[in-house]
Amino acid sequence: MCCRSAFFLGGAMAPLAGWLTDQYGGRAVMTVGSTVAGVALVLMSFVTGPYGLFFALLLAEVAAMCVLYNVAFAAVARLDLAVPTQRSISIITLFGGIASTIFWPLTLWLYTRYGWEASWVVLGITTLIISVSLHFYGLRGPLRDLDAPKEAAQSDWPELRGPARKRGMLWMVISFLFSGYLIGAVMTLWVTNVQDLGHSAALAAIAGAVIGPFKTVGRFFEMLLARNMYPLVTYILAMSLMMAGFMTLLVIGFTIPGIMLAAALYGMGDGIKTIARGTLPLALFGSRGYGARLGWISFLSMGVNASAPFVFAWLTQAFGGWWSFFVMTLCLSVAIATYALIPDPRWIQNDPTQDRCLPNGS
């Protein structure tokens, strides 16, 4: 209960952190956020009861909203860089995937060798020394003039206007909510559900470990081959790979090759979707208010997604792991259906009141 309450309350910080980044750039926001994150990690080693745990978790969640992907995306969007913003977002997510691949075994080694209290202290001090310095010195530089012409790499990305803008925001957010709703459930219930398909816990854990590295593979693929791809196309590519993973899981997931292939496809799609969640709002609605927009989307997603592990845990207990995965597939199907309703600004006529558009990516 402490975790979910801190998760929700911390999420309320996301719109403010995004707005501050829009106004002043990401240097101050991410420097302060990484400082608070380091302090929160150290405090975790001193937790002795539920109130202390709640305070430390709340502090960590508030800090997270100032240093994770949304603010990082908004920070590079505000900097006057020679690298296009979409390219910067791809690079950030690529290194984020590599970091998670490294830190899973690293934190396990720290815990095994020194215990959980010392592990929190080491991680906290490391954050204070490395992350604070990188954010303070790495995010220096002039901020981009939001009233200036768009960078050349994005000159063919017209913004949605008029009624299409409101419609695009509505369907994009709904699609994000449904495509994101199953992510927490997958990571929470993967082992349980895969066991229900007839595999051992060890094999389920090995298959689950495949997801993380293949997120990085997907992001690397996107960075190399799809860097000029319009974000609407990137987003449907991500959801198609995730859907392929779930369909493989439902049809041949009871076999070892099936479960491994499903994990790889889902991981690649989920990795690419992280990029699309940053680039799609930028392409459809522009740079002005970009950070705050990402913050509100994040707040809504966190509020809705907090219930996902409980809902899918009940489905697993009541009907079994296969049906739990099947409902996740239905959620992804709704996300794809609502994606199809997002107007493509490249195909809308120049009249801002015009709301006629051709199918996405056509």
pLDDT tens-digit profile of 175-187?
Answer: 999 999 988 788 8
Q: Which residue has the higher pLDDT, 191 or 348?
A: 191
**Cα gap 52→25, rounded to integer Å:** 33
pLDDT of residue 352 exceeding 70, the answer is: no
pLDDT, residue 210, reads 87
Per-residue pLDDT, 1 = 55
Contact criterion met (CB below 8 Å) for 207 and 194: yes
Res 87: pLDDT: 81
87 close to 33: Cβ distance less than 8 angstroms: no
Mean pLDDT over residues 100-123, rounded? Answer: 86
Residues of the chain with CATH 1.20.1250.20: 2-138, 156-347
The reported pLDDT for the residue numbered 2 is: 53
pLDDT > 70? residue 357: no
Q: How confident is the model at residue 147 (pLDDT cuts 50, 70, 90)?
A: low
CB neighbour class for 148 (10 Å; exposed up to 12, middle 13-18, buried from 19): exposed
Global confidence as pTM: 0.83
Residue recorded with tokens 């490395």:
130
Determine the residue type at 269. Answer: G
pLDDT band at 281 (very low <50, low <70, confident <90, very high): very high
Predicted confidence (pLDDT) per residue in 296-341, tens digit: 998 888 888 878 888 999 999 999 999 999 999 999 999 999 999 9
> 155: pLDDT confidence band, cut at 50, 70 and 90?
very low
The pLDDT of residue 361 is above 80:
no
Q: What is the mean pLDDT of residues 147-155?
A: 49
Identify the CATH class of 2-138.
mainly alpha
| Phi, psi (degrees; rounded to nearest 5) at 13 | -75, -20
Q: 159: burial class by Cβ within 10 Å (0-12, 13-18, 19+)?
A: middle
Q: Provide the pLDDT for residue 4.
A: 60
Give the mean pLDDT of 152-172: 79
Kindly report the three-state secondary structure assignment for every residue of the chain.
Answer: CHHHHHHHHHHCHHHHHHHHHHHHCHHHHHHHHHHHHHHHHHHHCCCCCHHHHHHHHHHHHHHHHHHCHHHHHHHHHHECCCCCHHHHHHHHHHHHHHHHHHHHHHHHHHHHHHCHHHHHHHHHHHHHHHHHHHHHHHCCCCECCCCCCCCHHHCCCCCCCCHHHHHHHHHHHHHHHHHHHHHHHHHHHHHHHHHHCCCCHHHHHHHHHHHHHHHHHHHHHHHHHCCCCCHHHHHHHHHHHHHHHHHHHHHHCCCHHHHHHHHHHHHHHHHHHHHHHHHHHHHHHCCCCHHHHHHHHHHHHHHHHCCHHHHHHHHHHHHCHHHHHHHHHHHHHHHHHHHCCCCCHHHCCCCCCCCCCCCCCC
Q: Which residues contact 130 (CB under 8 A, 6 or more apart)?
A: none
Lowest mean pLDDT among 4-13, 26-35, 160-169, 314-323: 4-13
Tell me, which fold does domain 156-347 have in CATH? Growth Hormone; Chain: A; (1.20.1250)
Phi, psi dihedral angles at 337 (to 5 degrees): -65, -40
- Taking residues 56-71, what's their average pLDDT? 90
Q: What is the pLDDT of residues 78-110, one digit of tens each?
A: 888 877 888 888 888 888 877 767 787 788 889
